Structure formats: structure tokens, C-alpha cells
Structure 1
Amino acid sequence: MSEDDNSLVDMVNMAIEATIPAAASMGVRAVEVGRGHAVTTVPIEGNGNHFGAIYAGVQFTVAEVLGGAITAGTFDTSAFYPLVKSFDIAFRAMARTDLRAEATLAEDEIVRVGAEAAERGKADFVLEAVVTDTDGTTIATTRGVYQLRAFGR
């Protein structure tokens, strides 16, 4: 990871702490942030439910914050901000270890979203993510519809 990537990770983690305190309390952290790519993690410790797995809301959160992380690494955050419009999650296996969520946004989609948001003040984009455990088992898959919005419009 480059110094710029480390700087983006730090920026996203500070944003999580400042703007989504519940996610920060869960221990959700960005570990990779770059153009069109982000990875977040969350520990099992403190996030269990009544049968020893990670609570579903925590699994949702570690994946949902990827929209903001990818925005930070891909678009001009002084001009645009992200919001989530809809989010679907499919639970595939029991989450009994720390989790990792990962998503990518293709270069052609980045170009489309950036141009549309600059022209119209907003643009929707879809992120599909995979949540895995420490063994690499798929725990959940998600599909989020996000919107990149221009400040002041």
C-alpha cells in the first residue's frame, strides 16, 4: 500500500469515528482504500449475538460503509458526498470470526458516475460486496445502491 493509500485509510477511519459513532463502537475499520476499491474489517469481540455469531447489524455495517470508503478513494470529497439509497444483504454462513468486507467499482463506472454527478449534481452507482471470515468463507453478499451528490445542489 502506498503512502497515499495509507493516508486515505486514515481519513476514512477518522470519518467513521466522527460521522458514524455506532460503526466506530463496533470496531469497523477501513484497511484498504484506493481508486475503485475498499476493504473494511470488524472484530467478533464485542459484536456477538445470543448464539455466538456476529450480530447481523454488524455484518450489514461493515459492508455498507464501503460506499463511503470507495467514494473517498475515488471521487473529489471536497465537491461530492455519498449516501446510500438501498441495501440488500444475503447471509450465507455463520459469522464466528473477525470479518472482512470488500468491494470494487470498475473504471468505466467511475468515469460515468463522476461525469454524471458533475453535470447533474448527482449520480447513482451500485456496489456489490463480499463479507468473508478469517478462513475466507463467504459469510454474506451485499448489493448497495449509492448516490454521489454534489455539495450545495
Structure 2
Amino acid sequence: MSVTSENSEFAQAVNGVVEAAVPVVHNMGVRATSARRGYASSMVPVEGNGNHFGVMYAGVLFTVAEMLGGAIAVASFDGTRYYPLVKDLRITFKRPATSDVCAEATLDEDTIIRVTREADEAGKSDFTLESTVTDADGVVVAVTTGLYQLRAHGR
């Protein structure tokens, strides 16, 4: 996947924040590849992220999916007013990953509106994000369900 001109600003912003604030994720090679309102994708190379039996380490698969909550929040909510955090993330491993992987997630417009309204009124709002992690052949290697929270700054 590559960053397109349509969404490169958000993807670059996510990658800059990850590099500065969560260097271990950056060092894995996890990168946001797309981020726009209601959509985010990321990727991570298999090289350097293997385990003891030659497939991608489970923690790397977890990480490439988990970071989508922050990426989608950057692109869908006003970062000067809100910040995201992860409250829970469940992963189901489907197949071993032996190649680079990509993760994708979407957030519908009604949820974006609800979460914004609730964060304005109560200072925070929860949302669920489901992601799919696929290998270079498009085979699903993992799926996640994450519970994220959007919080208003200063509350």
C-alpha cells in the first residue's frame, strides 16, 4: 500500500506521532498507509519481525491493528480538541503471516458524529473499531475488535 495525495497529510501526521511518542512501534516498521475520515490502514514488514518458527511475531500483528484507533481518530476527530486511547483490544489469529501485512479499519459517519457529540457533552466517548489484517496475498491472518475512547483535552 502507498500513501496517496488525498490522505498523505493524516498518514504522515500519524507516522510522526508514532515515531516521537511510541518509538517501539516505529522501530517495528509499522506505518500508517492511509488515513481519512472514517478509514485508516497500516502496514508492517515481515523482515525483522519474525518469531522462533519463522512467521510474524503475534505482538507485531497486534500492534499493526491496534494503532488504527489512533490513526482513524487523527483523521476523523479534531486533534486540537480530542485525543484517543485504547481501552481493550481482542485479537483472533487466523493464519500465520509469512509476508508483510496490512491492517484496515472503518468507522461509520453516524459513529463519528455520536462520539464527537458525547465527547463534547461528557468529556469522553467510547467507540468500537474492528480491523482486518491481511498478508501480501490478501489472506486474512488476524482480526481485531478494539474498544477505544475519545477524550476531550482538559477534561
- Give the AA of the match of 2:149: Q
Distance in 2 separating the partners of 1:71 and 1:37 = 9
- Aligned counterparts, 1:6-17, within 5 A: 6-17=8-19
What is the RMSD of the two structures over their aligned residues, measured on CA atoms? 1.0
Pick from 90, 93, 102: which aligns with 1:88?
90
User: Counterparts of 1:65 and 1:119 in 2: how far apart (Å)?
Assistant: 26
Post-superposition offset of 1:5: 1.2
Alignment TM-score, normalising by the size of structure 2: 0.96
Deviation at 1:34, TM superposition (A): 0.1
Residue aligning to 1:139? 141
Aligned to 1:98: 100
1:13-36 Cα shifts (integer Å, max 9, x gaps): 101101111100000000000001
Question: In 2, distance between residues paired with 1:11 and 1:102?
Answer: 17
Q: What is the letter of the counterpart of residue 85 of structure 1? A: K
Q: Deviations over 1:32-55 (max 9, x none)?
A: 000010000000000000000000
Residue number among 108, 114, 117 corresponding to 2:116 in the alignment: 114
Partners of 1:121 and 1:148 in 2: how far apart? 8
Partner Cα distance (1:2, 1:65) in 2 = 19
Deviation at 1:89, TM superposition (A): 0.1
Shift of 1:3: 3.8
Letter in 1 for 2:84: P
Match in the other structure for 2:152: 150
Cα deviation digits, residues 94-152 of structure 1 (max 9, x gap)? 11000000000001111100110011100000000000000000000000000000111
- Distance in 1, matches of 2:127 and 2:115, equals 7
Aligned match of 2:53: 51
- Distance, in Å, in 1 between the alignment partners of 2:49 and 2:4 is 31
Q: Which residue of 1 aligns with 2:128?
A: 126
Q: Give TM-score scaled by structure 1 length.
A: 0.98
What stretches of structure 2 of length at least 5 have no aligned partner?
none
Q: Which runs of 4+ in 1 moved over 2 A?
A: 1-4
Equivalent residues of 2:4, 2:34 under 8 A apart: no
Unaligned runs of 5+ in 1: none
Aligned length in residues:
153
Report if the CA contact (8 A) 2:32-2:42 is conserved.
yes
26-35 or 1-10, larger mean C-alpha shift: 1-10
